[in-house]
Structure 1
Amino acid sequence: MSETKKSLAELQALIADSAARTRLTYLFDEGKFTELDAFVGEAAGVITAYGYADGEPVYAFSQDVSVKSGAMTEAGARKIAKIYDLAAKTGTPVVGIYDSYGADVNDSAAALRAYGELMLWTANLSGVVPQIAVVAGVCSGTAALLAEAADFVVMAKDASLYAAPNAKSNGSAENAAANGTVCAVCDDDKAAVEKARAILLKLPANNLSPVPVYEYEEPAAAAGSDIESLTKAVFDADSVIELSEGFGGAAYTALATVNGETVGVAATNKTKDKLTENDCAKLARFVRTCDAFAVPVVTFVDTEGFAGNDETEAAGAVKSMSKLAHAYAEATTAKISVVTGKAYGAAYIALAGKGANADAAYALPTAVISALDPITAAEFLEHDKLTGATDLAAARQALADEFAKTQASAANAAVNGLVDGIVDASQLRSAVVDALAMMSGKRISRLPKKHSNIQL
């Protein structure tokens, strides 16, 4: 038999079970999928397939590290490009499972062409269909750039993700979670693929499809304004998937459902700290992702504003604030904001301001909404009352407390049109449900342009 002709048995032997194939079974319903181009390029190093996740179609590819260390070859790139092409034609999400040591060094020119084509595909499909990357093993060099171009990146804790080797971190999952490169770290490749599936099921099939709707259970009643209590009280029971937990400590992002329909959840009150550049980046990226697929965003605001320490200023605080404000202002999806605690100055404008951002804004009765921190406002407005005080700090705090209860109160904010209403915590779910229903038919057009120029 010639080198170019093989028997069916020999071809079938080439597609024997592998880790790459097993990982695909974790993604699809009942572990079943249809492989594409199974016999094209026996050393392609990647398996491409389509199947269903909870009854919805999904395209996927899984790199096979057992073949040439998963090296990206021209044949492998053609297989992946075909997946992207089909996804574009059908409006179907793509899941990529990465496990490769890089390009095929035996033909570096072909590898460069291949990676260039795939980068173009991921960029063109960005915001059209959801793309989720799973880093199951080593993902290095240009492959890391491809993975990071996805809407969400999930990583196994023993995997590696890096553009260039680094002796200190070696692309560890811990490092990737801390710097926001990945949205979740899981115990192993199976858990990582299953997490990707869970995220995928919360998203629309494409930018023209409505958000998915599921059966749901009412949430358990919960009191309090902390983020854990709020999510338990407002969103459907067991529907919340927190994202990027290890990045941006003061910010919180999650996907959840309200009355069975997907929403994005953003909050600034996770640790009560002021916002840093990481928090701004985390929230901005999340809001833009939700907006790309018309997923409504519910924002809980409780922050004194942006941190002004040396570290934050050195990192470009103004740029970070601008990025966050731009992301909210540009988003045309439905945006519901609730001031659950403090909302001062630029933080109110960026996150809950009706003028630029929120379609509907509410406040809990104890909320404090002010252009300035009450301490600063008291110093400016009531300075004469501080003259001669025996305990200056106590006198200043007393004036600030009075300012918060009067001029910066939720009631005063409502009178001045800064919020649409004041709701008790026990009625917050109903208010959010009604607001989302009211905004379900939202349509808005922006000025014609190629794209906005957000600070990055």
Structure 2
Amino acid sequence: MSHEDNRVELEARRQRAMQMGGEKKLKQRAEQGVLNARSRLDALLDAGTFREVGLLARSIRKEDRDSTPADGKVSGFGHVAGRDIAVVSNDLTVKGASSSATNAKKVAYIKRTATRSGMPIVFLGESSGARMPDTMGAESMSQGGADPEQYCRRRDTPWVSAILGPCYGSSTWYTCLSDFRVMRKGATLAVSSARVTSLAIGESVDAEELGGWRLHSEVTGLADAVVDTDEEALEKVRSFLSYLPAHAGEAPPVQAPGTWSAPDAETLLDLIPTQRTRTYDIRKVIRAIADDGSVFPLKERFGKAVVTTLARLEGQSVGFLATNPFIRGGAMDPDACRKATDFMVMCDSFNIPLVLLVDTPGFLVGVSGERKAAPAHIMNMMHALQLVSVPKVSVILRKSYGQAFLNMGGGRNSDEIAAWTSAEVSFMDPGVGVSVVYGLKREDNAEAFDAACDSLRADTSAYDMASVFGVQTVIDPRETREFLTRSLALHRRRRSNGVGQHHMANWPTYF
């Protein structure tokens, strides 16, 4: 064949691969308002930057080679906001994006290259699981374990997953291993499909109940964000990556001066009541401290007594971990502890300084919490906090009682602690303490009860803490942003250019 003949054949093969599962299937998706594997990449990546690898890959089975363009997974490299990323986009129109020997090699190549070169990996999930009959039999199963680190996570680079349709098998596994997971309503995430599960257990199973967005955003905590459309999900991915470094060996990117603005500090005085019995929403407080428009919440529907959110202070990425008095007065339960631990692991692994805002009566006690292993989750959170090697700065807003004082950065568990003038620290809420110590109840003798409360409240103020150097400073609420920016700058890890020690890089991605 001549060079021209070879060129023509190459172009014809490329065009066939680009047609994916065919015009009919692609048209159906478009009519449903769902993007396909390649249009998702167009929405995610900077225009014209995608460089595909494995375009001409096909099934190893001869009878399937003409029906498996790119073998159901579109993989390659591109830019998000000018920075390199690696990406795998599952093509459900080709054999349900099922996992096979060929596309497993493609995914392994992407992971290996991204890890070695230091770039984030984005998985656009939508797959039906393992491809049969490719994986049937002892020989196929044995070969499937050829990569000993297929599902090993060391947090060398950020991993991000978007759940954009039915996700079973590999899409589920990589989602669970990721640092950020965004889920589109209508998508599902489970070990196996509702059909396979129904056959296995002998009863009907609803797909939404099996692995829908409500389950994973409110019960399992696997979904960090929930959106309505593919486009929104991909924009969430782009936003998340903007807070993180390309790899664990560098500090997060910084927004240039002039691209951010500070909120009005006076609003803080109106957001938080001085009466300790009145609730408020800590999310509004965070927005009144961080750069305008920079707050990026994670797991909003899960473990609501704690708020975890990425944000920026003077253009610098920070992680806010805050108790929320709007939910059960800020008393933390096992889900809240899990959420807090997961967030600390992510921030420490990718060199994001931690800000703790504290207003909590302690941990929620009760039978349901004990059945969820509350003590273990409390200690996991404590353990994680003590392993955090990036700057940790705490601000006690109103109350911090009991073990939660330590879990939220008290004692020597922060690099620096400030207390608002309204702060109070003690072993437990004075009202509870009076009932425990003196056996008094307000309804029995209000005067004696109040007098005993006043007695237990002695020596618990912000000034009492400052007098024994339990906090480094007492501040007016309006000084919070200034305190945080100066404190984080002071405690920056200069010896390592802002890079932490990553003690939790191998911490389980779910526990």
TM over 0.5, yes or no? yes
Show the counterpart of 2:422: 366
For 1:92 and 1:62, the matched residues in 2 are separated by: 16
DSSP-derived class of the 1:59 partner: strand
For 1:432 and 1:447, the matched residues in 2 are separated by: 23
Q: Are the aligned partners of 2:46 and 2:82 in contact in 1 as well (CA < 8 Å)?
A: yes
Matching of residues 370-389 of structure 1 within 5 Å: 370-378=426-434, 383=438
Query: How far apart are 1:257 and its partner, in Å?
Result: 0.6
- Give the letter for the 2:252 counterpart: V
Show the counterpart of 2:5: none
Which deviates further from its counterpart, 9-18 or 237-246? 9-18
Show the counterpart of 1:26: 43
* One of 493, 497, 508 as aligned partner of 1:441: 493
DSSP-derived class of the 1:105 partner: coil
Task: Call closer, same or farther: CA 1:7–1:212 in 2, change over 3 Å.
Answer: closer
TM norm structure 1: 0.90
* One of 448, 454, 458 as aligned partner of 1:395: 448
Query: How far apart are 1:237 and its partner, in Å?
Result: 0.4
Show the counterpart of 1:150: 178
DSSP-derived class of the 1:89 partner: helix
Q: Are the aligned partners of 1:320 and 1:455 in contact in 2 as well (CA < 8 Å)?
A: no
For 2:475 and 2:79, the matched residues in 1 are separated by: 42
Runs of at least 5 residues in structure 1 that lack an aligned partner in the other structure: none
Instruction: Provide Cα deviations, 1:285-318, integer angstroms capped at 9, x if missing partner.
Output: 0001100111101011111111111111111111
For 1:380 and 1:256, the matched residues in 2 are separated by: 41
- Give the letter for the 2:308 counterpart: T
How large is the Cα RMSD of the aligned pairs? Answer: 2.9
Show the counterpart of 1:315: 372
For 1:45 and 1:108, the matched residues in 2 are separated by: 16
For 1:299 and 1:79, the matched residues in 2 are separated by: 41
Task: Call closer, same or farther: CA 1:118–1:204 in 2, change over 3 Å.
Answer: farther
Which deviates further from its counterpart, 56-65 or 6-15? 6-15
Show the counterpart of 2:33: none
Q: Are the aligned partners of 2:361 and 2:428 in contact in 1 as well (CA < 8 Å)?
A: no
Matching of residues 132-211 of structure 1 within 5 Å: 132-164=160-192, 165=194, 167-168=205-206, 169-178=209-218, 179-211=220-252
Q: Are the aligned partners of 2:127 and 2:170 in contact in 1 as well (CA < 8 Å)?
A: no
Query: How far apart are 1:217 and its partner, in Å?
Result: 1.4
Query: How far apart are 1:34 and its partner, in Å?
Result: 1.3
Show the counterpart of 1:268: 323
Matching of residues 123-134 of structure 1 within 5 Å: 123-124=152-153, 126-134=154-162
Show the counterpart of 1:39: 56
- Give the letter for the 1:257 counterpart: R
Q: Are the aligned partners of 2:71 and 2:102 in contact in 1 as well (CA < 8 Å)?
A: yes
Matching of residues 98-137 of structure 1 within 5 Å: 98-108=125-135, 112=141, 116=145, 120-124=149-153, 126-137=154-165
* One of 5, 10, 14 as aligned partner of 1:11: 14
Q: Are the aligned partners of 2:121 and 2:160 in contact in 1 as well (CA < 8 Å)?
A: yes
DSSP-derived class of the 1:336 partner: strand
Show the counterpart of 1:216: 260
Instruction: Provide Cα deviations, 1:348-370, integer angstroms capped at 9, x if missing partner.
Output: 01112232x21111111111111
Task: Call closer, same or farther: CA 1:39–1:290 in 2, change over 3 Å.
Answer: same
For 2:409 and 2:156, the matched residues in 1 are separated by: 27
For 1:375 and 1:46, the matched residues in 2 are separated by: 60
Higher RCO (CA < 8 A, seq sep 6+):
2
For 1:158 and 1:100, the matched residues in 2 are separated by: 14
* One of 297, 313, 336 as aligned partner of 1:279: 336
Query: How far apart are 1:118 and its partner, in Å?
Result: 6.7
Show the counterpart of 1:337: 394
Runs of at least 5 residues in structure 2 that lack an aligned partner in the other structure: 2-7, 21-25, 27-35, 59-68, 198-204, 273-280
TM norm structure 2: 0.81
Show the counterpart of 2:276: none
Instruction: Provide Cα deviations, 1:228-264, integer angstroms capped at 9, x if missing partner.
Output: 3321221100000011001001110011011101011
For 1:163 and 1:27, the matched residues in 2 are separated by: 27
For 2:443 and 2:347, the matched residues in 1 are separated by: 53
Task: Call closer, same or farther: CA 1:240–1:397 in 2, change over 3 Å.
Answer: same
Query: How far apart are 1:146 and its partner, in Å?
Result: 2.1
Task: Call closer, same or farther: CA 1:31–1:139 in 2, change over 3 Å.
Answer: farther
Query: How far apart are 1:416 and its partner, in Å?
Result: 2.1
- Give the letter for the 2:380 counterpart: K
DSSP-derived class of the 2:133 partner: helix
Query: How far apart are 1:123 and its partner, in Å?
Result: 2.0
- Give the letter for the 2:103 counterpart: G
Show the counterpart of 1:423: 475
Query: How far apart are 1:415 and its partner, in Å?
Result: 1.4
Task: Call closer, same or farther: CA 1:334–1:376 in 2, change over 3 Å.
Answer: same
DSSP-derived class of the 1:158 partner: coil
Show the counterpart of 2:4: none
Query: How far apart are 1:399 and its partner, in Å?
Result: 2.8
Task: Call closer, same or farther: CA 1:251–1:306 in 2, change over 3 Å.
Answer: same
Q: Are the aligned partners of 1:50 and 1:60 in contact in 2 as well (CA < 8 Å)?
A: yes
For 1:298 and 1:76, the matched residues in 2 are separated by: 42
Is 2:270 the partner of 1:241? Answer: no
Task: Call closer, same or farther: CA 1:297–1:117 in 2, change over 3 Å.
Answer: farther
For 2:448 and 2:147, the matched residues in 1 are separated by: 64
For 1:83 and 1:141, the matched residues in 2 are separated by: 18
- Give the letter for the 2:475 counterpart: V
Task: Call closer, same or farther: CA 1:326–1:454 in 2, change over 3 Å.
Answer: farther
Q: Are the aligned partners of 1:71 and 1:101 in contact in 2 as well (CA < 8 Å)?
A: yes
Matching of residues 284-295 of structure 1 within 5 Å: 284-295=341-352
Query: How far apart are 1:26 and its partner, in Å?
Result: 1.6
Query: How far apart are 1:391 and its partner, in Å?
Result: 4.4
Query: How far apart are 1:376 and its partner, in Å?
Result: 4.1
Task: Call closer, same or farther: CA 1:447–1:428 in 2, change over 3 Å.
Answer: closer
- Give the letter for the 1:407 counterpart: D
Task: Call closer, same or farther: CA 1:440–1:273 in 2, change over 3 Å.
Answer: closer
- Give the letter for the 1:399 counterpart: A
For 1:373 and 1:367, the matched residues in 2 are separated by: 13
For 1:241 and 1:153, the matched residues in 2 are separated by: 13
